[in-house]
Amino acid sequence: MIVFKFGGASVKSAEAVRSVAGILKKYEEEEIVVVVSAMGKTTNALERVVESYQKRDRQRLDHEVQMLRDFHMDILNKLFEKGRYPVFQEIEDTLRELSEQLEEEPALNYDYDYDRIICYGELLSSRIIAGFLNSSDIPVRWMDIRKSLKSDNTYREARIDWELSTRLAREHFIFRGERILLTQGFLASTINNQTTSLGREGSDYTAAILAHILRADSVTIWKDVPGVLNADPKYFDDTILLEKLSYLDAIELAYFGTGVIHPKTIKPLQNKNINLYVKSFLNPDARGTLIGNFSYDKLVPSFIFKMDQVLIRTSPRDFSFITEDNLEEIFGILHKNGMKINLMQNSAVSFQMIVNNDKRKLHLVVDDLDEKFRVSIQTGLELITIRYFDQSTIDRVMINKELILEQRGVQNIQLLVRDLK
Ligand code: ASP
Ligand code: MG
């Protein structure tokens, strides 16, 4: 058995869904667990639904829901030009269920509401894709992942209950004549059956969890890029496709933010020595990237660029040193406001962190810090991480940049810079 994951761009249109069917036909001999995430930018749209629902902005809410409906109906109509199939009713039912959710009184717990609404992206996409595959002579069973993956109630960042999920998933994911079991990524539920989600982009992680539990032979993540590249082509010419990557390199690259694979994906696979392929759904016969238990003699440098970074400098107002209790306080404030640190550095009397420019969170964090610390911020910066760096790779990225701060390890270097152009 193998696991495939399709999501976002690889299921963003009727044409993309057709290529999913094309790929599955190529793997005729295999039993496949297919994990899908929401179509195109649906999750972002649903985040706007949650926001207007929580603010009780009925007009905007109705508008957003209508857009969501139109987007999915349009794909459905393009996929089934010649007639109506049961999937039309399933989509109507799913959309009605969403409307019923939105009739309820908003909860005080934003994250709880978020999860019970955000799940409709995956529910709709999995219904449409399963319906289309079934009508294309690819017999598929649709499964609700929330019956198999159980988590705690940390809404939006739920932690999997591995023991319970292992028991349930092994009981449910059994092939009975169909060659494909198709389910949703990104979602789980509590033991009380409240929907939870695993964090944005979490459906790669779902594929890895299922592969681990069901002892899959391999996982393939189908994307709109040829595989894992050594840099984002947006910021770099002559990128190189990394044909083979060790688990460790994959974790490091994901952690620093390549964005190609979700960082949590690797661990469950590494533990069971399961290979992970990253391939292009536009060019399914190309080799892509293979991530596994490798070592290699030629280390290719990789570059990760994070734009729109903010440097926050703090120093205690009472001129004391930076100590464990100061740090505890600073980390506490960032954690409370859900702000992640991309890089940190300290001296005797100041502590500096680099974060993404999320204006709402930044405002809250600075307000909280201001009580005990002198705070200054610098915006408009870029954070460049180079794995397997040497002087020539540093020189290459430093053209027309001013260095603000640097952190060097044995394998990685991180450069916080300002663009001089
Ligand atoms: N649909 C979810 C998101 O956009 C999960 C995923 O795509 O992996 O974050
Ligand atoms: Mg995605």
CB of 316 closer than 6 angstroms to any ligand 1 atom = no
Residue nearest to atom 6 of ligand 1 (CA): 201
Atom of ligand 1 nearest to the CA of 8: 7
Which ligand lies nearest the alpha carbon of 39?
1
Residue 227's pLDDT is what?
94
Give residue 298's identity as a one-letter amino acid code. K
Strands, E, within 270-320: which ranges? 275-280, 289-292, 302-316
Task: Count CA atoms closer than 13 A to 256's CA, side-chain side.
Answer: 22
Ligand 1 mean position to 400 CA, how many Å? 36
- DSSP track, 99-136: HHHHHSPPPS-HHHHHHHHHTHHHHHHHHHHHHHHHHT
* Contact criterion met (CB below 8 Å) for 397 and 420: no
Which ligand lies nearest the alpha carbon of 207?
1
Mutational pocket test of ligand 1: of 119, 122, 200, 221, the residue with most ligand atoms within 8 Å of the beta carbon: 200
Which ligand lies nearest the alpha carbon of 126?
1
What span, in angstroms and rounded, lies between the C-alpha atoms of 378 and 402? Answer: 14
Atom of ligand 1 nearest to the CA of 198: 5
What span, in angstroms and rounded, lies between the C-alpha atoms of 299 and 309? Answer: 28
What span, in angstroms and rounded, lies between the C-alpha atoms of 198 and 325? Answer: 31
* Contact criterion met (CB below 8 Å) for 306 and 356: yes
Residue 169's pLDDT is what?
98
Residue nearest to atom 7 of ligand 1 (CA): 201
Ligand 2 mean position to 198 CA, how many Å? 12
Residues 6+ away with beta carbon under 8 Å from 6:
20, 34, 35, 36, 37, 129, 222, 281
> What distances in angstroms separate CA 102 from CA 56, 69, 72, 144, one per listed residue?
10, 14, 18, 21
Q: Between vectors from CA 394 to CA 389 and to CA 397, what angle results, nearest 5°?
A: 125
Residue nearest to atom 5 of ligand 1 (CA): 201
Please tell me the pTM assigned to this model.
0.91
Atom of ligand 1 nearest to the CA of 204: 8
Residue 296's pLDDT is what?
83
CB of 7 closer than 6 angstroms to any ligand 1 atom = yes
CB of 40 closer than 6 angstroms to any ligand 1 atom = no
Ligand 2 mean position to 265 CA, how many Å? 13
- Please name each of the domains of the chain with its CATH number: 2-224 (3.40.1160.10), 302-419 (3.30.2130.10)
Residue 81's pLDDT is what?
80
pLDDT along the chain (421 residues), means of 10: 94 95 95 98 97 96 98 96 86 97 96 97 98 95 98 96 98 94 98 97 97 98 93 88 94 84 93 97 95 88 95 91 90 93 91 94 95 95 95 94 95 95 85
Which ligand lies nearest the alpha carbon of 114?
1
DSSP reduced 3-state for 44: helix
Residue 409's pLDDT is what?
93
CB of 121 closer than 6 angstroms to any ligand 1 atom = yes
